[in-house]
A = this chain, B = another copy of it.
Amino acid sequence: MPESGTTLYVCTTCRREGDDPEGPRAGARLHAELARQAEDREGAGLRIEPVECLSVCKRPCTVAVASPGRWTYVYGDLDPEAAATTILDGLKSYDGTPDGIVPWRERPKEFRTCVIARIPPFPPIPEAAE
């Protein structure tokens, strides 16, 4: 599979109730789990970037996905232990679309209910010359 050019940003500052104050934060745990699982998936070509804050502090954990020519999506309310598989499955569907818009029925449940925001492809795709 070719490089998808997709970047997954993971907020590593996100805390969750019940986090061990001595241990890594929920966001950092989610990032570690995503990195571990992505290694096991051959040829995903996904770039996973830790980010200090995505400013969605009231709905941890939080990730954002961006890709050239595709809509950017921000997701919140993600479970640091359980969400990694769902996120990577969802990104596979995302990479399978030309514009990043996965048909509603094909989206994992978390990707339906946990959307924080979406932003059009940037930079804007130049329109075909007439």
Q: How far is the CA of A62 from the CA of B119 in the complex (A)?
A: 11
Interface residue tally on A, bucketed by range? 20 to 34
Residue A55 contacts which of B7, B47, B118, B124 (CB distance < 8 angstroms)? B118
- Set of chain B residues within 8 Å of A51, measured between Cβ atoms: 120
- Assess whether A117 is in contact with B120, with CB atoms less than 8 Å apart: no
Cβ contacts A to B, 10 pairs, < 8 Å: A7-B123, A49-B120, A49-B124, A53-B118, A55-B118, A64-B117, A66-B123, A72-B72, A74-B74, A122-B122
Please report A residues at the B interface, Cβ cutoff 8 Å.
Answer: 5, 7, 9, 47, 49, 51, 53-56, 62, 64, 66, 68, 72-74, 115-120, 122-124
